[in-house]
Structure 1
Amino acid sequence: MGELIVVRHGQTEWSLSGRHAGRTDVPLTEAGEAAAKALAPRLARRSLVAVFSSPLGRAMRTAELAELAGAEPEPDLVEWDYGGYEGLTSEQIQATRPGWDLWRDGVPPGDADHPGEQLRQVALRVDAVLNRIRPLLADGDVAVVAHGHLARVLTVRRLGLDASAGRMLGHPHPGTLGFLTTEHGRPVIAAWNVP
């Protein structure tokens, strides 16, 4: 059984400043590009049978720089749509909504480009991706290039947990890897936040 390799896209100006970037396509910084390139040697040693990426530029560029040839754009890997909180930091949100927690409270609707998404909707998208990936793991490793919150939901759903358990994982740092393998036939996290 192959491993599911979760690649967090490289740093952007918004990830650096803590702004929520769901559907807004923010480009990689120079540091983000360097981190993505640094992933290439580690990923080159893997027997990848498939690579899927969020279609947003920051993820596709990370796949390109990490030399993940043939990365297939997968719309269901787009980041959580933060709706009315798009572009805001957690501190800005909590200034108007004290105690706000994305995992518990979700997001309000935004404009037409950012209608917002609740956790159950993100989980449904992730489950569709996992249903596509599971049979491929019989033949080798599969890499997905995605975003911070989406990667957390993907990981806990792969582990068979409720999507809300994503709050218990540390946020994957930009330009890092997570490795999900199996132990005694059950999915486990082998490593997380690997540069």
Structure 2
Amino acid sequence: MTLPDPHPAALPEGHPDAGDTFRHAARGTAPQIVLVRHGETEWSLDGRHTGRTDIPLTARGEEQARAVGRALAGRRFGLVLTSPRRRATDTAALVTPGLVDSPAPEVDADLAEWDYGSFEGLTSPQIAEAFGGPWNLWENGIVQDAEGRGEQAADLLARNQAVIRRAHRTLNTGDDVLIFSHGHYLRSLGATWIGAPIRLGEYLVLDTAAVSVLGFEHGNQVLRQWNRTPWTEPAA
């Protein structure tokens, strides 16, 4: 089977996002976007691709989320967003009580995990076996299922741009933004933030309940921190 081209072409001239580099004017201490991947689930343990399937955290995943909450305790955010999936909303519910003067998490459908189409619930080796050769999400993309569900990198790019635009409205007031989402989605978001192709996300590995920080340096959008795992750190 021939996989579709997973890599998005440049946006057409005249598209509202064409040429938008999402640059931010540096002023004083620049605000940040803090990213939190959800805690462990049974499928993340098994390496199964978990897109639209809505499964809960494991007990260990809940403990991981509480450790993130301790790491972020006392922080203030002007905007808190979460994927609609239970594993993300439950992580947010365990993290946010320790925040200060921050709004309740808002569900944003653009933060949902990559829709894996016909690959939903399969491991990478299972997908490779089915298609008769090596398979890599970032290089090969996905095949839609019988109901036409499934996303390519171009679909994630559009979602990323919408999320970044929304975040900028808060960042431009000087407030930080907190986002709860998923591994592959956040890896793609990190790539888009620095102006790189979605495929760069292959190199931005994220563990469960990892904390990362998107920020600014000299007016450029940068990765200030990546894949910190508070649950592996000694208790204070």
In the superposition, the TM-score normalised over structure 2's length comes to: 0.79
Q: Which residue of 1 aligns with 2:96?
A: 67
Map 1:109-120 to 2 at 5 A.
109-112=144-147, 115-120=149-154
For these two proteins, the number of residue pairs brought into alignment is 193
Deviations 1:5-25 (A, max 9, x none): 110000000001100000000
Map 1:1-195 to 2 at 5 A.
1-67=30-96, 70-97=104-131, 98-112=133-147, 115-138=149-172, 139-170=174-205, 172-195=206-229
- The runs of 4+ residues in structure 1 deviating greater than 4 Å are none
Task: Give the structure with the larger strand fraction.
Answer: 1
Residue 78 of structure 2: SS of its match in structure 1? strand
Q: What CA distance in whole angstroms lies between the structure 2 residues aligned with 1:182 and 1:47? A: 18
Residue 48 of structure 1: SS of its match in structure 2? coil
Q: What CA distance in whole angstroms lies between the structure 2 residues aligned with 1:77 and 1:111? A: 24
> Taking every aligned residue pair, what percent have the same amino acid on both sides?
40
Q: What CA distance in whole angstroms lies between the structure 2 residues aligned with 1:130 and 1:180? A: 11
TM-superposed CA distance for 1:166, in Å, is 1.2
Name the aligned partner's letter for residue 51 of structure 2.
G
Q: Is the 8 A contact 1:46 1:141 kept in 2?
A: no
In the superposition, the TM-score normalised over structure 1's length comes to: 0.94
The runs of 5 or more residues in structure 2 that have no matched partner are 1-29, 98-102, 230-236
Q: Is the 8 A contact 1:36 1:175 kept in 2?
A: yes
Deviations 1:137-170 (A, max 9, x none): 1322101100000001111111111222212212
The runs of 5 or more residues in structure 1 that have no matched partner are none
TM-superposed CA distance for 1:32, in Å, is 0.4
TM-superposed CA distance for 1:134, in Å, is 1.1
Name the aligned partner's letter for residue 49 of structure 2.
H
Q: What CA distance in whole angstroms lies between the structure 1 residues aligned with 2:120 and 2:95? A: 27
TM-superposed CA distance for 1:92, in Å, is 0.7
Q: What CA distance in whole angstroms lies between the structure 1 residues aligned with 2:31 and 2:75? A: 10
Task: Give the structure with the larger helix fraction.
Answer: 1
TM-superposed CA distance for 1:135, in Å, is 2.2
Deviations 1:97-151 (A, max 9, x none): 2111111211111143x71111100111111111110121132210110000000
- Based on CA coordinates, which of the two structures has the bigger radius of gyration? 2
Q: What CA distance in whole angstroms lies between the structure 1 residues aligned with 2:86 and 2:38? A: 10
Name the aligned partner's letter for residue 32 of structure 2.
E
Residue 201 of structure 2: SS of its match in structure 1? helix
Residue 66 of structure 1: SS of its match in structure 2? helix
